[in-house]
Chain A
Amino acid sequence: MPPRKKKPADQAELFTASTPKEIQAILWKAADKLRGSMDANQYKEFVLGLIFLKYVSDAFEERREQLAKELAEEGIAEDRLEEFLEDQDEYTGHHVFWVPESARWSSISANAKSGTVGEVLDQAMDAIMKANPSLTGVLPKIFNKDNVDKKRLAELVDLITDARFGGSDDKPAQDVLGEVYEYFLGNFARAEGKRGGEFYTPSSVVRLLVEVLEPYEGRVYDPACGSGGMFVQAAKFIEAHRGRSHKADISVFGQELNERTWRLAKMNLAIHGIDGNLAARWGDTFADDKHPDLKADYVMANPPFNIKDWARNESDPRWKYGVPPRGNANYAWLQHMISKLGERGTAGVVLANGSMSSQQSGEGEIRQALVDGDMVACMVALPAQLFRTTAIPACLWFLAKDKSPGGVKGQKAAAADRRGEILFIDARDMGEMVDRTERVLTDADLAKIAGTYHAWRGTTSAKDAGETYADVPGFCASADLKTVQEHGYVLTPGRYVGAVEAEEEDAEAVAEKISRLTTELYELFDKSDQLAKTVREQLGKIDD
């Protein structure tokens, strides 16, 4: 007796799933089965490409239905309806990508079982790129390859078809798919471990940057934008505070070094309905600055920590505070961002803890120049394990072009005069563990840190909340430049907020050192193995 045909288990599960979270988890599990012989990078593009395709198609259908309704209301005759419905401008004018018939999900899903699904998907990607020049070179065409399991691909297409991504009244389809996209990005980052950190910053860290900087309007820039998480969070912030229609109050500028990550970012922005300028290509921020004339109001970034091999040009005009050492780009990132700040511009940067105290190769002098130049507004020491992808403890640098009462962008009322002062926040005890290895900052933590900053700076949001600033031993302290000088320009918050022993600071530096040395050692082992092989080959060639 032939086996009874039954629906794949995932699909059955999907019908009982009720929350978006469950849907995401089921999809993730299903997609994971496709991994097979693909490498992590390809697989990531593969799955995210599919979700993106579903998104453009859904958004298109939504617009199409709406258009049909509008046209009917305008009294357009039924027989002429089709002509208007196929008018590209009606879509692109509403920030909806034009999706040619063959690329619509309905047509893909109809072909899912045909065995040519890979081909159909590649053609769909191609058709969408041709119809929408802003997506040129962005979408992956990797579905019709030998290493793709056609049967599982068809199952996944089915699953995506069935999943209820459809929007409801308060949540358009766009948001639901945006969340799915982010959920997948986060999961990929975890699955890739250390290397995942290259394209993904944990969302509680990004939210903290956004809550402190409050980018309501103006130019937002991220020189190491990864998959574009900073921009998505900034847009969400505006939506939450000002409403959906204000999303366009910011313009977004980014640059990303890695080609694949750059594509993920382009898709991520598109899926969240953000018009951003990520340049026509990926590129190295140090060697090939894609936004040379940009003056940004807000810079937010999580650049790669402690990178050794970077394009260093000693006479680069960006090194206003001193030439960064060859062996570490941390101070190159900081100075690059400062060079991009417009009048009253502010920046929030995630960096390795070492950056707060390093004295090697002139970094101490650069930090001194930054402090003496009154560029540093606030330093935040973060708890450990926020980044599942790296053991290196991290901190936040907030830089400000203008710390005077008139220096807060977009604010008419006078703020506090913080010239010659730096706010130190020690948040190392904050956050809660979500599982054995990962910690997140809670909403309350974010509110406390950002609230402290705003109270100190005297921004409107602090005034509205009726908060005033005071030092809290063990948590925050505002120090004048003289005090910072006395501490040898070391910016580790623990030194200023008190109540924390100096030994702990050193323990952090040790943790960082151990992690760095471990990585180095593993690389050397690999190299040693290779060389052992070469030695064998060479000695085998000697005639004796």
Chain B
Amino acid sequence: MTEMMEVSAPSLSLGAAVLPGEWNWSPLGEVTLGIYDCPHSTPKLTDDGPYVVRTQDIISGTFRKAGAARVSRETYLERIKRAVPTQGDLLYSREGTYFGIAAEVPEDEEVCLGQRMVLIRPDASVVNYRYLRYWLNSPFMASHVHGSKDGSVAARLNVSTIRKLPTLLPRLVEQAAIAETLGALDEKIAVNERIAVTADELALALALDERWEKRIRLGEIADLSKVQQVPQEMSDDLVDHYSLPAFDSGKAPDRCSPLSIKSGKFVIDSPAVLLSKLNPEIPRAWDVVPDGSVPSLASTEFLVLVPGLGISTHELWSVVAQRKFLEELAAKVTGTSKSHQRVRPAEVMETEVVDPRQFGEVGGQIRSLAQSILAARRESKTLATLRDTLLPQLMSGRLRVKDAEKIVEDHV
């Protein structure tokens, strides 16, 4: 490896960190074999075929197949002319609502670039692609990238800017070690989410309409809790905020200061099922066991259902989260605008659900599945916090991974 060019990175701050001696700065263009821009045409989407990766598909730093669009084979071949995305390459968004985010090319899927995307092909002899992904997604890079917007409204990075992005490189072994540590956390988070999704589906299948005969009005097995609280008046430092956006983005509450919450909220002081009365055709039924350490608040778009005697929230959730029940609610909505249709609470309580009291053994199965969902999501939350805490420390050399450091020392 020849001497690397010194990079000055005025807008990139690592805090007060003093870099380990053997770490180097380098422009991204010099540690890659190529940075390829996407074709500028709008791809024609199809039902089947290879995936086309758009900026919104990699917001989380991982390519999410769910919701991703597909293109025909012809379109695919057309779009990979400049470079075929292969494992080891990075997909990078350079424009749009969310930009400056990198994701790995998935191992077992054919993908091509959507608009406003580039493909980064790291030079494996100097940079570990996984490390590079973490670097590009690190808070240092985020503030650098978003700080280098030229002030205009459209936020974008052109390819020449991307080539110049400052890249901080430890020795390869240490890059690999950092990527491995952070990667272990991410993989655990990913498998937890799959556990939650699978267990969710399984619990709902167990409680499915077709399997049970007895029906009952929801009002006979659950009460509505309507205690409200104005967050601004609370003296607590932190609360768990159960909002519709929090449900949609991973079914975990936002832990935040009550001062940041504007309007009045429902108080959740015991396990409850939250059921969205807004647009009920979108399935939003949330099985909630409040974390006792901080107060829990729910958006008033939810109904707070408290189960009656002898029924757990898990079983209650399994019968109200059923598609059939939600469809019935959807048929009862009122409101003129399509986007803001609500069902009246009294109507909800009158609607029939499968009676969970007939579940017997299955009730136990549903409860344990629901608990494993809660545990998996809670663990993921902790893992993500840990990852976000570690990442800047490892990426700035303030914390080192032992083995890597040892190997590096031996070679210096």
Contact = CB atoms under 8 A, between A and B. Distances in A.
Given A507-B211, A524-B194, A528-B195, A541 B402 contact: yes
A73 interface: no
B202 A543 contact: no
Given A507-B211, A514-B205, A542 B48 contact: no
Contact of B184 (A506, A507, A524, A535): A535
B374 interface: no
Contacts of A314: 73
A359 to B, nearest CB: 12
B334 interface: no
B401 A513 contact: no
Contacts of B192: 528
Interface in B393-412: 394, 399-403, 405
B390 interface: yes
A399 to B, nearest CB: 25
B187 A525 contact: no
A520 interface: yes
Nearest to B203: A517
A521 B195 contact: yes
Contacts of A534: 184, 187-188
Interface string B15-48: 0000000000000000000000000000000001
A539 B177 CA distance: 11
A195 interface: no
B150 interface: no
A226 to B, nearest CB: 28
Interface string A521-537: 10011011001101101
Contacts of B244: none
A92 B286 CA distance: 72
A514 B206 contact: yes
A528 B188 contact: yes
A544 B386 CA distance: 14
Nearest to B195: A524
B399 to A, nearest CB: 6
Nearest to A314: B73
A538 B184 contact: yes
A534 to B, nearest CB: 5
Given A527-B191, A531-B187, A544 B399 contact: yes
Main secondary structure of the interface of B (DSSP, over half): helix
Contacts, number: 72
B349 interface: no
A534 B195 CA distance: 18
B400 A517 contact: no
B13 interface: no
B205 A510 contact: yes
Contact of B191 (A517, A528, A543, A544): A528
Nearest to B188: A531
Contacts of B385: none
Nearest to B189: A531
B210 interface: yes
Interface in B98-127: none
Most buried by B among A362, A520, A537: A520
Given A503-B210, A510-B211, A521-B195, A541 B177 contact: yes
Interface in A312-371: 314, 361-362
A107 interface: no
A468 interface: no
B184 A543 contact: no
A542 B195 contact: no
A116 interface: no
B208 interface: yes
B172 interface: no
Contacts of B402: 541-543
Interface string A19-44: 00000000000000000000000000
Contacts of B390: 542
A310 to B, nearest CB: 13
Contacts of B210: 503, 506-507, 510
B97 interface: no
A525 B177 contact: no
B180 interface: yes
B191 A524 contact: yes
B201 interface: yes
Interface in A268-319: 314
B231 to A, nearest CB: 35
B177 A521 contact: no
22 contacts: A314-B73, A510-B205, A510-B210, A514-B202, A517-B202, A518-B202, A525-B195, A531-B191, A534-B184, A534-B187, A535-B185, A538-B180, A538-B181, A538-B184, A541-B401, A541-B402, A542-B181, A542-B390, A542-B400, A542-B401, A542-B402, A543-B402
Q: Sort A-B residue pairs by CB-CB distance and give the 9 closest, nearest first.
A: A517-B202, A538-B184, A538-B181, A531-B188, A506-B210, A541-B402, A524-B195, A534-B184, A535-B184
Interface of B: 48, 73, 177, 180-181, 184-185, 187-188, 191-192, 194-195, 198-199, 201-202, 205-206, 208, 210-211, 376, 383, 390, 394, 399-403, 405
Given A521-B198, A521-B199, 15 more contacts: A314-B73, A517-B205, A518-B202, A524-B191, A525-B195, A527-B191, A531-B188, A532-B188, A535-B184, A538-B185, A539-B181, A542-B394, A542-B399, A543-B399, A543-B400
